[in-house]
Structure 1
Amino acid sequence: MCGIAGLFARGAHAQIDRDLLVRMRDRMVHRGPDGAGLWCDDGIGLAHRRLSVIDVAGSPQPMHSPDARATIVFNGEIYNYRALRSELAGLGHAFRTEGDTEVILAAWRQWGPDCLARFDGMFAFALYDRERRQLFLARDRFGVKPLFTALLPGGTFAFASELKGLLAHPALDRTIDPLAIEDYFAWGYVPDHRSMLAGVDKLPAGHYRIVEHGKPPHPPVCWYDISFEQRETMPAVDEAEALRAQLGTAVASRMVSDVPIGAFLSGGVDSSAVVALMADRASHPVTTCSIGFDVADLDETAHARLIAEQFGTAHHERIVDPAMFDRIDALAAMFDEPFADASALPTAAVCALAREHVTVALSGDGADEAFAGYRRHVFHAAEERARGALPLPLRRAVFGPLAALYPKADWAPRPLRAKTTLQSLALSGEEAYARSLGVMSPELRGRIFSPAMKRDLGGYRAEQPLIELMRNAPARSGLDRAQYADLKFWLPGDILTKVDRTSMAVSLEAREPLLDHHLVELAARLPETRRVSGGQGKLALKQAMEDTLPQQILYRPKQGFVLPIAQWFRSELKEAARAAARSERLLDTGWFDAAALSQLAEDHIVGRRDHARELWQLLMLEKSVSLLSNN
């Protein structure tokens, strides 16, 4: 795992500022503390920070092909590199190292952009082809590894693994995009189709991009997309066998490492499955790490211990409490852009704990998106059946007024909170799912934004890109479209961003075996009832693991890896909540209505509403704006 950066000049013979490129590279030293590399030629400069995991003694970067035609900087892992190396050797390619970077170079020489479809892994890389005078940038299928780009004044094209690498360049436009603020408050993060800064882009997951001297950068090209259009019905025994086999293959391929390796263990189905499969293949006890909370209803350490004892792991635990709030500045600095998924704090804690013992850790991320494991999937599937029975005009006429009349009762037991369901049934499936995925409703955003901010938005709503994505999805049902949106929108923007930044901040490589693309594609072909049925999500995966994991792990209610911030903001951290709502730095931007923000905080503190997530958003935005203004 590494950090990469580069400059590609508009002029083919322009000189690259080596000192500037070093500063861009070394802003990301946490991504690669084991080594640094730099290569510059006319019109091109590539830089690299290395975290040594495979071929520790070899494979320095930037790396050149044997014929010196191509040079690469690469962040990630190609898990099937040994099989590809053997195939390429049979085609006449010679290898000088034992790592996967050189395999990418040879694959490019052999197949060009088509090489991407042959890679099983997580990656973001930049490859300069001297013969074609082209820079080729690529990102893995699901966006595990990030890549930020910017076209600078004068035509220089810059890229880096993190925004902080680009921020080291003095020519970067630091104007904050108001549409990114709208997106951020809708989703709790800035999605991959946008950046916090107007002059910065993110290469989308499953895309590549070509840049040539003297020409505007080519638009990104999609090289991979997941499809839900096919169905594959198998006998239950065959389905379970196929899933277990692919799960085993995915875990085994991600256990290849020349440094110590372990796993995150929450005690949920996904991480428990990964640990079980690791234990079956390891020659020594698997190192596992868990985070607990000082609020009993959210603490899963007892479940994690159950799995640790069953599979004889070397288990480590740490408790998160309000005192960890002191680390919020460091947390914000990991992300550069505002990031308000509060589970980032315990994720950072478990990464720090893991790094004390290992250099690589396997996670259970990706299974909820692939197998429909979120509660929202269960609700959406049920609502879609109701939508199918009644036409939209009738639903709008009946459920819309009912939703308006029904009180919003955050304090009430879940069965009594019918307002959200009534609102959903009055909408199309895409509109309803966008609401269920969001953090702050359009109505609340309308209340907290100032008139000037609303003018700057020009009628744009953050839900629009997601709704369009779902409507154009290669899918057969509403559940298909919801999962497609999760894999294309939510997963790279939230889940994978969270894991990448928090793990890389402590120089830990995180690997996601449940995002093995063969496994995800198999899950996408399963009948809808094998994903959601009887109020259960992720059904096929759970049944495939019944011979391995305890029933109380497989079928207990999903908790999620969340902070007890609602309680904290009404007790130990209530003054922090007030301070976030009254932040001069935020109010000076002109984006907000000051009275509305203050009311939002007070409503939460006294218990009238649950605005914990919105207050966390304000807090993280204030920290991010401060960081960006000081860079």
Structure 2
Amino acid sequence: MMSAIVAAYGPFDETLGQRMLDRIQHRGPDGRGVKRVGAAWIGSHHLAVMDPGATPPPLAAPDAGLWLVGDGVIYNHRRIRAALDGTAFMTGSDLEAALRLFARDGVAAFARLWGTFALAVAGEAGEFAVARDVLGIAPLYWARRGDTTLFASEMKAFDEDWREFVEPFPPGHAWTPSGGLVADPAAISTAPVLLQSRAADEEPPAWVFDAVRETLIRAVEETLDASKPVGILLSGGVDSSIIAAIAARLAAKRGLTLPSFSVGLAGSRDLAAAKLVAEHVGTTHHELTYTAEEAVDLLPTIIGELESFDPKLVHSAVPHHLVAALAAEQVTVVLAGEGADELYAGYSHFGRHTDGAALHGELLDTLDGMHAGGLQRVDRVAGAHGLEPRLPFLDLDVVELAMALPPEWKLISEQRPAKWLLRRAFDGWLPDEVLWRRKEQFGEGTGMNDVLGEHFSAVPKADEATPDELRAAAPELDPPLRTAEELAYYRIFSDALPGINAQRTVGRFVEA
């Protein structure tokens, strides 16, 4: 489920928790619940996807004296339920499986969860624990002051006097008052392990392409498990197109036709490609065109919901905001193609590598930073529209397989364009002009890079940054603010989230 969660441990005024929940209730329109348990307080606004008829969280295990609030999806919840044979489950919620596993195993339970999650558990015996998935797909922030520690799904939840203490909660970690931060065992391969004896220029064996394809198909099948309507955010790029092709085939076997959604400026390349893919794979397609003026007018709203001012993130957030609004008219769950570029070296800057080990190291670093970049955009924009995003490329089976492959197969060359391994695995699933389309950022294919670049490179308007203002403001951050456009976004961010320390909380893309 997509949810807003808030938790506190230590001296705490419940009215603060209620205010925090109020600020992020857009993440969960299906119910609100709070619970004080000893020194702990937990609360949630939830979006019910897996078990719509359940009572609002916190989820309870009364016999164990435990309660849980959570955001995200536990994909292996059925296997956990089977392993807990004899346990009397009260709901069909995937998060109850996590709660019951915690009741049995304590903090060690978090390492056995397979999915995207941010969880807080509180118990009558003094138990309190918070955990976040290893990739940081589910958002979580925390702030510590005196004897009190607060947690929330978004930065905007915190009162202004708390915001200087806010930091991202580290992915792949759990926290308890007695034990502090504890890291789960690394779920991502730190070194490739498959086929190390093969030369870099050798053709991979056929079973490699089969494994890449079948693992992703299984991941998409899991993301279609929902009791609410599911759609596809179809940008027209190869990644979302592959997801659309798989999901459409799986849905057709069930006698269903999925809707797909795309946006762009009139005549944009993304709109044309998305329409072609939709016709090819058989989705019911919906598209929206917007004007440059509408995009610029949306910036204050989008930067506030995005909680970032990084220009690359803002460029992609504008069309993402619009496509999320379009999708929210019809569906509750959306599939998206995020993660493929980080697994298969899809970005142009990866092309500078000629050494597999160096490329692999950068891919690991990029995966480690996704929670403060593209994943933040996906989460915040979806949450602002009451949508739950699901990302099959970041299923941990898909991630582990991709990172175990020889990185030399991901090097970019004339013979092997970016993500050629992934493209080859889906040969025949898409039109060639889409399958082998050059990588474009979401903001590039929709036209947003040009729109916003031209807007901020024009003669400065009264409410925008002059060159002198940029020189004066640049040193406020490290690395310094780089352009008048970035300064303009930084000002909007500061107005939307007064008191937040941008240096500690905002990820920024810096060319190496």
Shift of the 274–337 alpha-carbon distance from structure 1 to 2, 3 Å rule, reads closer
Aligned to 1:312: 282
Q: Secondary structure at the match of 2:54?
A: coil
Aligned to 1:268: 237
Shift of the 107–498 alpha-carbon distance from structure 1 to 2, 3 Å rule, reads same
1:623 has 2:492 as partner: yes
Shift of the 567–623 alpha-carbon distance from structure 1 to 2, 3 Å rule, reads closer
The answer to whether the Cα contact below 8 Å between 1:569 and 1:576 also exists between their aligned partners in 2 is no
| C-alpha distance in 2 between matches for 1:360 and 1:22 | 27
The answer to whether the Cα contact below 8 Å between 2:350 and 2:412 also exists between their aligned partners in 1 is no
1:480 has 2:473 as partner: no
| C-alpha distance in 1 between matches for 2:428 and 2:321 | 32
Shift in Å, 1:581: 1.7
Shift in Å, 1:166: 1.5
Q: List aligned pairs for 1:402-481, cutoff 5 A.
A: 477-481=357-361
What do the CA deviations read for 1:509-568 (whole angstroms, capped 9, x no partner)? Answer: 111001011111111111123222534121221111003122211212112211444455
Shift of the 254–568 alpha-carbon distance from structure 1 to 2, 3 Å rule, reads closer
| C-alpha distance in 1 between matches for 2:342 and 2:474 | 37
**Which residue of the other structure, out of 345, 349, 355, is the alignment partner of 1:376?**
349
What do the CA deviations read for 1:310-336 (whole angstroms, capped 9, x no partner)? Answer: 111110111243122111111121134
| C-alpha distance in 1 between matches for 2:161 and 2:166 | 12
Aligned to 2:256: 284
Q: Secondary structure at the match of 1:316?
A: strand
Q: List aligned pairs for 1:249-260, cutoff 5 A.
A: 249-260=218-229
Per the normalisation by structure 1, the TM-score is: 0.71
The answer to whether the Cα contact below 8 Å between 2:156 and 2:497 also exists between their aligned partners in 1 is no
Shift in Å, 1:585: 9.6
1:231 has 2:111 as partner: no
Aligned to 2:72: 76
Q: List aligned pairs for 1:34-73, cutoff 5 A.
A: 34-73=30-69
What do the CA deviations read for 1:337-388 (whole angstroms, capped 9, x no partner)? Answer: 4343221111111111111111100000001101111111122x23x4xxxx
The answer to whether the Cα contact below 8 Å between 1:59 and 1:101 also exists between their aligned partners in 2 is no
1:351 has 2:324 as partner: yes
Q: Secondary structure at the match of 1:343?
A: helix
Aligned to 2:175: 209
Shift of the 19–369 alpha-carbon distance from structure 1 to 2, 3 Å rule, reads same
Aligned to 1:580: 464
| C-alpha distance in 2 between matches for 1:534 and 1:125 | 43
Shift of the 630–139 alpha-carbon distance from structure 1 to 2, 3 Å rule, reads closer
| C-alpha distance in 1 between matches for 2:467 and 2:49 | 43
**Which residue of the other structure, out of 132, 157, 166, is the alignment partner of 2:158?**
166
Q: Secondary structure at the match of 2:80?
A: helix
AA aligned opposite 1:328: L
5+ long unaligned stretches in structure 1: 175-196, 385-475, 598-610
Per the normalisation by structure 2, the TM-score is: 0.87
Aligned to 2:21: 25
The answer to whether the Cα contact below 8 Å between 2:192 and 2:407 also exists between their aligned partners in 1 is no
Shift in Å, 1:258: 0.6
| C-alpha distance in 1 between matches for 2:385 and 2:148 | 31
Aligned to 1:557: 438
1:327 has 2:328 as partner: no
| C-alpha distance in 1 between matches for 2:107 and 2:334 | 30
Q: Secondary structure at the match of 2:286?
A: strand
5+ long unaligned stretches in structure 2: 199-203, 501-512
| C-alpha distance in 2 between matches for 1:502 and 1:575 | 30
**Which residue of the other structure, out of 98, 109, 112, is the alignment partner of 2:92?**
98
What do the CA deviations read for 1:191-239 (whole angstroms, capped 9, x no partner)? Answer: xxxxxx3x11211111111124xxxx71352443422413313953211
Q: Secondary structure at the match of 1:629?
A: coil
Shift in Å, 1:570: 3.5
Shift of the 114–43 alpha-carbon distance from structure 1 to 2, 3 Å rule, reads closer
Shift in Å, 1:7: 1.8
What do the CA deviations read for 1:47-71 (whole angstroms, capped 9, x no partner)? Answer: 1001111110115211221314221
Q: CA RMSD in A?
A: 2.6
1:5 has 2:6 as partner: yes
What do the CA deviations read for 1:31-62 (whole angstroms, capped 9, x no partner)? Answer: 11111001113321111001111110115211
| C-alpha distance in 2 between matches for 1:60 and 1:288 | 30
Q: Secondary structure at the match of 2:97?
A: helix
Q: Secondary structure at the match of 1:477?
A: helix
Q: List aligned pairs for 1:292-307, cutoff 5 A.
A: 292-294=264-266, 296=267, 299-307=269-277
The answer to whether the Cα contact below 8 Å between 1:362 and 1:511 also exists between their aligned partners in 2 is yes
| C-alpha distance in 2 between matches for 1:578 and 1:516 | 47
Aligned to 2:371: 492
1:570 has 2:439 as partner: no
Aligned to 1:138: 131
What do the CA deviations read for 1:430-467 (whole angstroms, capped 9, x no partner)? Answer: xxxxxxxxxxxxxxxxxxxxxxxxxxxxxxxxxxxxxx
Shift of the 576–326 alpha-carbon distance from structure 1 to 2, 3 Å rule, reads farther
Aligned length in residues: 479
Q: Secondary structure at the match of 1:581?
A: coil
AA aligned opposite 1:141: V
Aligned to 1:526: 405
Aligned to 1:200: 166
Q: Secondary structure at the match of 2:211?
A: helix
The answer to whether the Cα contact below 8 Å between 2:296 and 2:452 also exists between their aligned partners in 1 is no
The answer to whether the Cα contact below 8 Å between 2:465 and 2:485 also exists between their aligned partners in 1 is no
1:507 has 2:501 as partner: no
**Which residue of the other structure, out of 539, 542, 560, is the alignment partner of 2:420?**
539
| C-alpha distance in 2 between matches for 1:267 and 1:66 | 48
Q: Secondary structure at the match of 1:275?
A: helix
Shift in Å, 1:113: 2.5
Aligned to 1:108: 102
What fraction of aligned residue pairs are identical, expressed as a percent? 32
The answer to whether the Cα contact below 8 Å between 1:31 and 1:505 also exists between their aligned partners in 2 is yes
| C-alpha distance in 2 between matches for 1:129 and 1:524 | 38
Shift of the 572–117 alpha-carbon distance from structure 1 to 2, 3 Å rule, reads closer
